[in-house]
Structure 1
């Protein structure tokens, strides 16, 4: 019940008559309430989260992203409340699209190219290797890395001894930076398809100027694991994630793909 939630009055007024469900997809510590026509995201107030709001404002009119309906801060509780419109369509990991890989790849390629087409000259967030590796080091040194959630080959025989060893390799092997507008978490649940067209992007908390191959790498991993049953209950045995590169018209840079998947292991 909305009445049981301690919400800012402006937010409460806009959603007081609406029914909702809680969304637990994803790994963030945000509380997400799903309504028929909007989404309320409640997060701890932080410089990072406030920068994400700034980026979302900047994206309005540039990309198919949620429209900001209201944004409030509760200073006493240390929380921020973002009420957004819903992006039309369904997640691209939906069974309908997983069973139609040609259609799926075309939409994902369109989504990536749409991101890359945005003028980044005045983007309010730039995500550099220094930023990423500094944050990764903090997580490693404070034992915040979940090794049980890693790819099977990341640690152990043939892999890295531990997260600190992985971090050292990442710091010593930075690839060339190819700046574009990067979603930051380009996985299938964050890309919506609306019938025969791209619906839009959600979960834009890490969006900013980043490397082109970061999104490609996370998209490839998402395709692979949505097909092999790692994420989701169904296995699609004939699914070929490599078709993404054909749809993009790019030769895969496997070194960069591996680098960004390994970097993500520390987050």
Structure 2
């Protein structure tokens, strides 16, 4: 009885603080070997969605390259993932002139093997009130989320076609790219959705499958506010009809599905994993 009272009191305090209490019990199915012998490149792979996606590919037998802007973060991720099939590479996708060189550097890491799957996950988010954004911030968001994605996809297209690879591309877009919004992040993610659908239409005839995933509110380190929240303590959010945040594992699971053989006839879709947010 005393334990129940303590639990009730704890949840009451959470409710008063956040407006609701949702606790998640998430059981992961034991991984198979769907990606054994495949090589995967994940941009923005040192943390959050990219890190979890890399972990899932490694668990299913793939050889994985993760990229990021900071070597220290990449080395920390490598230590956590602890796999001899994992490679790291410093790559800022907003530096579009370096993309061909970086793609060549990535293929060199694989010692003659081809990249089969590209996961374009690198992105930036700067939360501000609409009237507070300046030109520099706007340009920095667009440089990674839209311009960087465009030229990365352009290079990936050439890589697949020139090497005769019927590969997969999955772009991590956002639910913000599927609902109205005039802030720079939303605009950049509308662009990401457009790139994904246009590229999918262009490449399907080559046997190259392109799709996207549109996360809702996921607790990653993309912003200062999200770093402070503990999804294990309380996953409640009023923004999603399900009243809870989305887990990085759920995004990674959809990415793997779309890039697997089971997703080979899904073309140009941007799949929301958002607790119903985009249904509003």
**Structure with the higher strand share, 1 or 2:** 1
Give the shorter-chain TM-score range. under 0.3
**Structure with the higher helix share, 1 or 2:** 2
TM-score normalized with structure 1 length: 0.25
